[in-house]
Amino acid sequence: METKNIYFISGIDTDAGKSYCTAWYARELMQRDLRVITQKFIQTGNTGHSEDIDLHRRLTGTGYLPEDKEGLTMPEIFSYPCSPHLAARIDKRPIDFEKIERATRELSHRYDTVLVEGAGGLMVPLTEDFLTIDYIAEKQYPLIFVTSGKLASINHPLLSFEAIKNRDIALDTVLYNLYPTVEDKTIQEDTMKYIKQYLSKHFPGTKFEVVPEIV
């Protein structure tokens, strides 16, 4: 499968702001005259729709797209809000990875760039013996990684960077999420400085983008 225009978006945890940052990044690319679409490859905690896709469309201002109605942007939806491996078990059906791949491939044919948002962090299990990071490595998708400057967030990206390097995943971009706004920016600013220095040493080709609050 050709992956040159498909990017996977993951983050430090389920509260890193992946959906917000996915929408922001899509909007930034759209402003560069690129045809961009987002996909939530596995949505949990919903029935019949993806709340993350709803957020993407609202923040990018595109409204609901034909591909949303076709189900291409939300190919797998499970009802219970938990990790995909458990959600699939609760709904008593396995994740259809072939269906996901067909949908992603079709989107890549229709658009210049496809942003595939993951569920939770890199180590979230998709099955009992297959993690999200394994999926990214298998598909050879370049990774866009979301982190932030909230308290205790410096440890998580560094552990994630180690895992990324160990699996030879291309770390394309780090999105540093400033949302939600905090009054005391001491930790936020120092964490940003530290991560930028770490990337320059260990991932010199990786881009670093600061994600402001969308207004």
Q: Which residues are catalytic?
A: 40
Q: What is the dihedral of CA 143, 140, 56, 173, to 10 degrees?
A: 20
Please tell me the distance from the alpha carbon of residue 99 to that of residue 93, in angstroms, as a whole number.
Answer: 13
What are the backbone dihedrals phi and psi of residue 60, each rounded to the nearest 5 degrees, phi first? -85, -15
Please tell me the distance from the alpha carbon of residue 96 to that of residue 126, in angstroms, as a whole number.
Answer: 11
Cα angle for residues 17, 20, 21 (degrees, 5° grid): 80
Parallel/antiparallel/unpaired status of strands 36-40 and 77-78:
unpaired
SS3 209: strand
